[in-house]
Amino acid sequence: MSKPTVLFRTATTALAVGAAARVVGTLSTLAPRRAPAGDIVEVRLDRVRYGSDWLARCAAIQSRGKPVLLTIRLAAEGGAWEGDEEKRLELYREGLGELAAVDVELSSAICRQVAREAARLQKASVISFHDFEKTPPLGELCAMVKEAQAIGSIAKISTMIQRQGDVEALRSLLGRRWEKPLCVIGMGRAWSETRILFARLGSCLAYGYVDKPTAPGQISAAELARRLRRALPG
């Protein structure tokens, strides 16, 4: 049975996400020193000192051939955004006019509004959950995936791994049949190998940093791409 896919659309391309793992290179600056590694470029606007030209600069990155995923992560889920939610919604709406995709937290007040705008514009929305302390029980994770997939294009679950049982819970999550693509990430310096493992097991996105890590155990996008090419030929 074929896997569900979602298109990350730009003015010139449409990248299919879901059939095989795609590498996301995360940027915490709008002036990358080199072309970001990976298939997709994530711009972490919550970490960027941005001005009125932020969208033009994101569009310039996307014009180099890779879809841009706009993320404005809440401080409550590991990000740096502590501002007004109406302002954040405005930024997402601006971004969706030009960029291929957005990532917004399942728990946020603006989640459904962002996802609806993405769907209206035929853009992709990643509906995410992050727990930097633990991995919730499998039943809770499954419920979150179902809710996220009912809202947006891709469900993303990123949790801290404390023990092998957490790895097994995340593996079980990937082993289930879902209606839409699923991204699963295990955090923790001692568990960085799970970023390769989960991509091999079907996680549709694997995140690596371009300029500096944004999560415990994250490896560079260039190294992640090299290792996944070895692990997943073709």
For the stretch 71-97, pLDDT in tens is 999 999 999 999 999 999 999 999 999
Per-residue pLDDT, averaged over 162-186, amounts to: 97
Distances from the Cα of 182 to the Cαs of 4, 6, 148, 177, in angstroms?
Answer: 9, 11, 10, 10
What mean pLDDT, rounded, does the chain reach?
Answer: 95
What pLDDT shows up at residue 49? 83
Work out the average pLDDT over 170-193: 97
pLDDT of residue 56: 96
The answer to whether residues 207 and 26 touch, using CB atoms and an 8 Å cutoff, is yes
* Residue of 66, 130, 180, 212 marked active site: 130
Identify whether the C-beta of residue 115 lies closer than 8 Å to the C-beta of residue 127: yes
Looking at CATH, the fold of the domain delimited by 6-227 is given as TIM Barrel (3.20.20)
66 given a catalytic annotation: no
212 has pLDDT over 90: no
Tell whether the model's pLDDT for residue 132 goes beyond 70: yes
Assign 32 a pLDDT band (cuts: 50, 70, 90).
confident
pLDDT band at 16 (very low <50, low <70, confident <90, very high): very high
pLDDT at 232 over 90: no
CB 194 within 8 A of CB 206: no
Task: State residue 103's pLDDT score.
Answer: 98
Task: Say if residue 1 is exposed, middle or buried (CB neighbours under 10 Å; 0-12, 13-18, 19+).
Answer: exposed
Q: Which of 30-34, 107-111, 156-160 has the lowest mean pLDDT?
A: 30-34
- Name the catalytic one among 3, 123, 146, 156: 156
Q: Is 88 helix (H, G, I), strand (E, B) or coil?
A: helix
Residue 218: pLDDT band by 50, 70, 90 thresholds? very high
Average pLDDT value for residue range 13-27: 95
* Active site annotation includes 130: yes
**pLDDT of 50 strictly over 90:** no
Q: 35-39, 101-105, 142-146: lowest mean pLDDT where?
A: 35-39
pLDDT reported for residue 195: 96
Determine the average pLDDT of the residues in 133-158. Answer: 98
pTM for the full predicted model: 0.96
Lowest average pLDDT, out of 15-29, 31-45, 78-92, goes to 31-45
pLDDT at 182 over 90: yes
pLDDT of residue 234: 62
Mean pLDDT for 122-142 is 98
> Which is nearest to 184 in space by CA: 216, 73, 39, 175?
175
Burial of 142 (0-12, 13-18, 19+ CB in 10 A): middle
